[in-house]
Structure 1
Amino acid sequence: MHLLHQAHNGNFSYGESGATAEAALAGTASLATTLDSSVTFRARDRSNGAPAAAVQRGSSGVSRLAEMRAQASHLVSLSRGARALVVRGVWHEATVAVKLNCIRPNYFRPDLLLEGPLSKSLRAPNVVETFDYSVTQLTLEEMREVQAADDALANDRGRYSRASSGWGLLREDSLLGCMATGGHPDVHDPDDFCGPANAHQEAGYPLTYSDALALVGAAPGGFLTQIIMEFCDQGSLSDHVARGAYGQAALGNRVALFGYLRTLHDVAAGMSYLHSNGVVHGALFPANILLCSSRGDSRGYVAKVSGFGMSGLASSPSRGGPLPVALPGISNDPWLVPFLAPEQLEGAAVQASDVWSFAVMAHNMWTGVEPYSLLVPAVGPDGSPALLAYGPRCHVSNVPAGVCDGSLRLTPPGGMPKPLWRMLGACLQHDWRRRPAFPQVRAVLRELEASLCGVKE
């Protein structure tokens, strides 16, 4: 079956930035073929919007592990996903976020290294900026070298040290030693490095580079990608939703409704840019939307799209019809799966798949609960799938089948204005050919801001 890609521009041109995703991807393939540090791929340096020192280094490409360690200092844990670790750090005197991802040799495919070069090639107001990226194939010698450097620094600071110079042998009072033993729930001293179980994750404890490597499962032969990007100080949209940021919108609060609509517009703007450059995001859900403080915005923040680990490039249409996009894979992340479109769950993603995910995310923002968590499949009088009723949570393992066969559907949440649900319902059309594109979604959101909130810009 031929699937429609809706790229408005297939040549991946970025104006003055000069970087091209095709060139970056070609370099990734070279790395996969040679596995040699003499082969490099680079996106052209950009000076606009990045810290001044970013252009001085321009070090994107294949690096030694010690060089990657030296790029950022003062690492503090932020979040850990199914495939990656994100920490806060200091890079050329600027506070940044550093994302580490390690691919095991037996799972390696060239497209899994696309995130670094692709993310640096993209720049827009509603897309998280990538300043630099590096890729290396890990060796035991380099990992020991990094650990020795961490040990030396720790000894100089007199805070803590590891029990030996062998990789993976940790003191019980080190961060990873705590994680391995589940922490010490009987310890209440706030200055204790271990503290209660998982306290280091909640409080944002400092990490050594060796700690970070262990957290992403780094091992000799694996491929490590390190991405240095702008630090979004207000966290993720999922955090915002969990705090009930948009709960008052359903009660008719115009301020909350405006914040909800404008945040959706931010996401739609970022996605419009990605789609216009032939990118399928593939993992659009609240955890991949980051919020940056903004004094010029009445909400106090701007939302930006991030997380390109599952992204792919739209191929050119053939004479027989458009072709699906090859993504790095279907995630088994239970938090992401409920946001995926039926065709993506079946292994054939298109740009319209992101539109579906956007609508599920909008539903989640409004209700504050997981998609399908209040729904159970129902059957109509004739035995066909019917509208859903409220009931026990639908287990995530049942979601893909229900979404794909149409028996599991989202219903209008309480208090949502009919014009808004009409737009989201169009985005949730089971036939991806009938879904609107993001420029259309943006236009509707602007109209809703004017009609529902009295905001005109």
Structure 2
Amino acid sequence: MRALSGASPLQLKELLGRGSCGSVYKAVWKGVPVAVKVIEHDDEELSSPGLSPLSSCAGLHAFSTDVGLSAGLATNALSTRAIEEELERGAQLNTRNLLAAGRAATEQCGGRTMTSSMATTRGSQALLEAAMSSAICHPNIVQTFDYQILDPSSSAGFFGAQGCRPNLNGLSGALQETRIIMEFCDGGTLEDAMHSGRFHGTDAQGRAVADMERVCLTLLDIVKAMEYLHLMRIFLKDLKPKNVLLASSKVDKRGFIAKVSDFGLSQLQPDKSPCNETTSTGVEAAGTVTHMAPEMIAHGVGSCASDVYSFAILAWELYAGRGAHSSLSKVQIMFGVASQDMRPEFPQPTPAWYRDLVSTCWSRDPRARPTFAEIKAILLREIAGVDKLQRDTCAQAP
């Protein structure tokens, strides 16, 4: 995976979504359907004195194939344990290279730790996101295949008819684009699937009930991805259903697998520091208010434990089938979570083990929250119990 400059071989299709950090398009790249995140920025941003994103990120994408994994690894003949052991070895290898690149970026930025969420310009932030995501390879993380920096002098390098460039307020130089070419997930977002009722059925009385097996298997996908990121000391910062994508699978009983996406706000934890050690994050770039941990709201600091809080809100939403705090304003949510320990109320009935797990994950004290390895063990135990119940039921059937 390498950074390319100049004209793009992409065949651009429809717009899939737009956010504060860029737009995502469906496209065809080398004959394969892909998703492309486009981040527009001033070309002067990449030549600012004292900041060279390409050189500081060179170590990130240069080693990205060292792990020897692919996004389709989970479908081959390896056992689950063998896959997990290989992923852990890969995470340890990638962590060393990520930290080396982080140190180089720190030197470039006058001693300040340079991360995608702390980049001084939109262009450097885009490059750091691209380089970081291309260094990651896990079956439950959306794969980044490549990234490109478009030459502002080439009209063919821009979206729009006749190469017309969109007008961005506040950008004084020629417009550039950083394009992040990613795996296309045909199942849409977890948020859309959740709201469409794909994780709920009906009981004998016609009431909506959560499909616990489907819920737990999907949460397990997310937990495996987050465990891997934390092994690499990556603090994601913005875990939520909208940033989890679903990809069709012919081998999974659900018909899909879940994949974590979007590293636009991610932060690499410093070398030799625990992943749960808090670092300054800045509330403005900290993530989505509904999923933001109280320490991030109140003090502008966060850690990998803050991702666990975000996971708890996501897990509540998946079980409830609706968004958390949907009737409240951002100010009400921030005040309630940070000052009054406000959390969503569990629907009735909620399994006791599920309530206990989610409640522990959204503890006010980050140190009281479990790690994703611990969460994975709980989910695996409960999934095994569901499987045994189904086998026993089938065995007793006439």
Q: Same fold (TM over 0.5)?
A: yes
8 Å CA contact 1:356–1:428 kept in 2: the answer is yes
What is aligned with 1:197? none
Q: 2: distance between equivalents of 1:228 and 1:131?
A: 6
Correspondent of 2:130 among 116, 121, 128? 116
Distance 2:134 2:278 in 1: 24
Which residue of structure 2 aligns with residue 11 of structure 1? none
In the superposition, relative to structure 1, how do residues 455 and 240 fare at CA in structure 2: closer, same or farther (>3 Å)? Answer: farther
Cα distance between partner residues in 1 of 2:273 and 2:15: 46
**Cα displacement string for residues 182-236 of structure 1 (whole angstroms, at most 9, x for unaligned residues):** xxxxxxxxxxxxxxxxxxxxxxxxxxxx5xx569998744553211011100111
Residue 338 of structure 1 corresponds to 290
Amino acid at match of 2:19: G
Deviation of 1:437 after TM superposition, in Å, equals 0.4
The answer to whether the 8 A contact 2:235-2:269 is kept is: yes
Confirm or deny: 8 A CA contact 1:317 1:323 kept in the other structure.
no
Matched residues in 1 for 2:190 and 2:280: separation?
A: 27
Instruction: Provide closer, same or farther for how the CA distance between residues 328 and 91 of structure 1 changes in structure 2, counting only shifts above 3 A.
Output: farther
- For the 8 Å contact 2:281–2:296, the answer to whether it is kept is no
1:192-207 matched pairs, under 5 angstroms = none
Q: Which of residues 324, 343, 349 is equivalent to 2:278?
A: 324
Q: What residue number does 2:360 align with?
A: 426
Q: 1:322 to 1:414 in 2, by over 3 A?
A: closer
SS at match of 1:364: helix
Q: Partner of 1:98 in structure 2? A: 36
Instruction: Answer yes or no: is the 8 Å Cα contact 1:282–1:311 preserved in 2.
Output: yes
DSSP-derived class of the 1:135 partner = strand
Q: How does 1:56-455 map to 2 (within 5 A)?
A: 60-61=2-3, 63-64=5-6, 67=7, 70-103=8-41, 108=121, 110-111=124-125, 113-135=127-149, 139=152, 141-142=153-154, 144=155, 146=157, 150-151=161-162, 167=164, 220-221=173-174, 224-248=177-201, 256-317=211-272, 323-325=277-279, 327=281, 330-331=284-285, 336-345=288-297, 346-373=299-326, 393-452=327-386, 454=388
Contact map agreement 2:286 2:296 (CA 8 A) in 1: no
User: The residue matched to 2:347 in structure 1 has which SS?
Assistant: coil
CA contact (8 A) 2:282 2:301 kept: no
1 CA distance for matches of 2:17 and 2:184?
13
Contact 1:313 1:325 in 2 (8 A): no
* 1:236–1:287 Cα contact (<8 Å) kept: yes
Shift of 1:316: 3.0
Once the 2 structures are TM-superposed, how far is the Cα of residue 456 of structure 1 from its aligned partner?
A: 9.4
Deviation at 1:408, TM superposition (A): 1.8
Relative to structure 1, the CA distance from residue 409 to residue 75 in structure 2 (aligned partners, 3 Å threshold; closer, same or farther) is same
Secondary structure of 2:223's counterpart equals helix
* Partner SS state of residue 284, structure 2: coil
Q: 2:300 & 2:249 partners in 1: Cα distance?
A: 38
Shift of 1:71: 2.6
**Deviation digits for residues 420-455 of structure 1, max 9, x if unmatched?**
110111101000011000011111011111234537
Deviation (angstroms), 1:77: 1.3
Contact 2:39 2:126 in 1 (8 A): no
Q: How many residues align?
A: 311
**Residues in 2 aligned to 1:399 and 1:89: alpha-carbon distance in whole angstroms:** 37
Distance in 2 (alpha carbons) for counterparts of 1:301 and 1:269: 15
What per-residue deviation string (whole Å, max 9, x for no partner) do you get for residues 155-190 of structure 1? xxxxxxxxxx8x4xxxxxxxxxxxxxxxxxxxxxxx
Give me the whole-angstrom Cα distance separating, in 1, the residues matched to 2:19 and 2:41. Answer: 14
Deviation, structure 1 residue 413 = 2.4
Q: Deviations over 1:8-40 (max 9, x none)?
A: xxxxxxxxxxxxxxxxxxxxxxxxxxxxxxxxx
Alpha-carbon separation, structure 2, partners of 1:292 and 1:216: 36
Aligned-pair identity (%): 30
Q: 1:414 to 1:125 in 2, by over 3 A?
A: same
Deviation at 1:238, TM superposition (A): 0.7
Shift of 1:275: 0.5
Within 2, Cα distance between the matches of 1:234 and 1:91? 19
Which stretches in structure 1 are left out of the alignment for 5+ residues?
1-44, 46-59, 152-164, 168-209, 374-392
| Structure 2 alignment gaps of length 5 or more | 46-119, 392-398
- Normalised TM-score (structure 1): 0.61
Tell me the distance in 2 between the aligned counterparts of 1:95 and 1:219: 34
